[in-house]
Amino acid sequence: MPKDPNHQRPLRCPEPGINLVHQKTCSGKASGACDCQPSFQGQAWSKIHQRNLRRTLRTLEEARLWRQETLEALADPTALAPGQAFFDLAAQNWLEAAKAGTVRTRSGTPFKPAALRSYEDSIRRFLAPRLGRTRLADITRSDIQDVIDWMVAEGYAPSTVRNAVLPLRSILRRALDREEIDANPTERLDLPIDRRKKDRVAPPEEVDALLHVLPEHLRLIWALAVYTGLRRGELQALGWRSVDLVRGTIEVERSWDRVAGFIEPKSRAGFRRVPLPGALRPMLIKQRLRQGAGEAGLVLGEGQLPFDPSNAIRRAKRIWAKEGLGHLGYHECRHTYASLMIAAGVNAKTLSIYMGHSSIVMTMDRYGHLFPGNERDSAEKLDAFLAQDREPFGSKAGSGEQTEGSVPGVGQLLPIPGGSDS
């Protein structure tokens, strides 16, 4: 009886990309050699599917041919069905394109590094674990709502839940624009509402008190934040060549990111000119003389090294707590600035420009109807408002007299042009 040619067949195929599929009756696992008639399984890695595509065929030649044709087809993106990429791969590709500047915001500007870090964190923590192995075209509104409901049940803050949906919206919006999916399932989602107290606005008297107890270097940070409305990164990146003490303006041309360094402002509207109240002028002159820095130096830093906002807020909070005062965060300073400008009579369009808002709608939604004004007018109005007589923070209600331990008003604390700078 002739020897079975398959008896000494190896358990594995020596050719890459092709596996042997043995019959259940094969005793190869025990003996170390195949004694069945195996089939041949071709494998081809698909990046778009993020897995190996497999096909089991009768002969080695058929498996080789299938593998070769499949690899050639996978190399041609047009041969693949739109939307067949799994979400984790689509998200990875989107992030790489956004970091390269290929994918941009709806306004056509590149995504800011901080925004992309936030998106990447949301994808890693919330989206990929629950949607990662779902094909883009198969993601439904119910799938996304399940993620939202899960986050709510886990106790995540409404703002965290909403932020988690943002990268998903951007990824699916791009897929829709590229006709990879037929509809964007992120519409009409049931998102939680944040009913917590919003960023507060500090009344002028409280601003006086908060500034009064700070040392000079911290006082200038908060005075600039409150009386110019600059964002935290814009304060960090503010250079002396952007400050015009003669014309009384500040040119906002850049911001600061803790990882990327100097970057452009948040949006096109971020490039702007804001009025510099005369109340800040003597403080800036004193800072310039103290630093002895050239035009390339930073107003609130040392040379080209910006101040540390986290360290600054910690130190300020300790001082305010010791004095029995509340605290004022950087973003709350912007709200306070808007409130002061409204009270000074600045109109909505002008305030929208000063705040760096992308549209007047955002300003109106947040701050309501305002009154007419212009740049020079606005600075004069704000100076007049800050200098006017009012009950100092900490005085007895209705007494009109300053009590022991109270602080001077802004008009006393920060000299107004025309007064004494000494």
Give the residue extent of every domain in the chain.
18-79, 87-177, 204-394+403-413
Percent of the chain, pLDDT > 90?
Answer: 36
**Is residue 329 predicted with pLDDT exceeding 60?**
yes
Rounded CA-CA distance 264/253 in Å is 7
CA 402/CA 5 separation, integer angstroms: 108
- CATH no. of 87-177: 1.10.150
> Can you read off the two tokens belonging to residue 232?
């935290």
What confidence score (pLDDT) does residue 244 get? 92
CA-angle at 293, arms to 292 and 296, nearest 5°? 165
DSSP-derived secondary structure for 139-163? --HHHHHHHHHHHHHTT--HHHHHH
Euclidean distance between CA atoms 326 and 318, whole angstroms: 10
Task: Give the pLDDT mean for 176-199.
Answer: 81
Q: Does 99 score more than 60 pLDDT?
A: yes
Using the predicted structure, report yes or no on whether residue 298 has a pLDDT greater than 50.
yes
Question: What does DSSP assign to residue 298?
Answer: B
Dihedral of the alpha carbons of 64, 70, 72, 76, in degrees to the nearest 10: 180
Residue 235 has pLDDT above 90, yes or no: yes
- Judge contact between 372 and 349, C-beta under 8 A: no
Closest CA to 241 of 229, 254, 228, 230: 254
pLDDT greater than 70 at residue 177? yes
pLDDT > 70? residue 391: no
Separation between Cα atoms, residue 299 and residue 237, nearest integer Å: 8
Architecture category of domain 204-394+403-413 in CATH: Orthogonal Bundle (1.10)
**185: which 2 tokens?**
């399932």
The pLDDT confidence band at residue 346, using thresholds 50, 70 and 90, is: confident
pLDDT exceeds cutoff 70 at 49: no
**What average pLDDT score do residues 291-311 get?**
84
Confidence of residue 282 (pLDDT cuts 50, 70, 90): very high
Is residue 21 within 8 Å of 39, Cβ to Cβ? yes
Helices (H), ranges, 101-140? 113-122, 128-131
Decide: 161 and 152 in contact? Cβ < 8 Å: yes
User: What pLDDT does 366 receive?
Assistant: 62
Give the separation between CA 336 and CA 328, rounded to whole angstroms.
Answer: 9
Amino acid identity for residue 155 in this structure: G
* pLDDT tens digit sequence for 125-176: 999 999 988 888 889 999 999 999 999 999 999 989 999 999 999 999 988 8
DSSP secondary structure letter of residue 126: I
Using the 8-state DSSP alphabet, how is residue 332 labeled? H
Determine the pLDDT at residue 167.
94
Q: What is the pTM of this model?
A: 0.62
Q: Considering only residues 78 and 304, tell me which one the structure prediction assigns the higher pLDDT.
A: 304
Q: Give the rounded percent of residues in the chain with a pLDDT score beyond 70.
A: 79
> In this predicted model, which residue has the larger pLDDT, 394 or 252?
252
